[in-house]
A = this chain, B = another copy of it.
Amino acid sequence: MATPQTGAGDPTRSLELLWRDLSPAQSKPGPKPRLTVDRIVEAAIAVADREGSCFGMRSVSAELGVGAMTIYRYVPGKRELIDLMVDRVGRNDGDESLLEGLDWRARLELLAEGTWEVYDAHPWLLEINQRRPVFGPDSMAGYDFAISAFEGHDLPDREINLVITSIMNLVTGTARQYLMRDSAEEAPLADEREWWAIQEPYLKRAFESGRFRHVQRFSDESAWDATAHQAMRYALERFLDGLAPRMEAVRRKGSEA
Contacts and interface: CB of A to CB of B under 8 A. Distances in A.
Given A140-B206, A169-B170, 8 more contacts: A8-B186, A53-B129, A157-B218, A157-B222, A162-B226, A162-B230, A162-B231, A169-B235
Contact of A3 (B3, B171, B176, B242): B3
B162 A212 contact: no
A95 interface: no
A236 to B, nearest CB: 9
A144 B213 contact: yes
A176 B172 contact: yes
A189 to B, nearest CB: 6
Contacts of A144: 211-215
A203 B135 CA distance: 8
A118 to B, nearest CB: 15
A53 B162 CA distance: 28
Nearest to A223: B157
A127 B235 contact: no
Contacts of A241: 241-243, 245
B15 A147 contact: no
A173 B165 CA distance: 9
A161 B223 CA distance: 7
Interface in A1-45: 2-4, 7-8, 11-12, 15, 18-19
Contacts of A199: 11, 15, 134-135
Copies of this chain, complex-wide, total 2
A229 to B, nearest CB: 12
A238 interface: yes
A100 interface: no
Interface in A210-257: 211-215, 217-218, 220, 222-226, 230-231, 234-235, 237-245
Given A2-B2, A2-B3, A242-B238, A158 B225 contact: yes
Given A213-B144, A214-B148, A242-B237, A168 B162 contact: no
A215 B143 contact: yes
A185 interface: yes
A158 B220 CA distance: 9
> 10 closest Cβ contacts across the A-B interface?
A169-B173, A2-B54, A241-B242, A173-B173, A242-B242, A238-B242, A166-B235, A157-B223, A147-B214, A162-B234
B205 A19 contact: yes
A166 B234 contact: yes
The listed residue with most B CB atoms (<10 A of its CB), out of A147, A198, A242, is A242
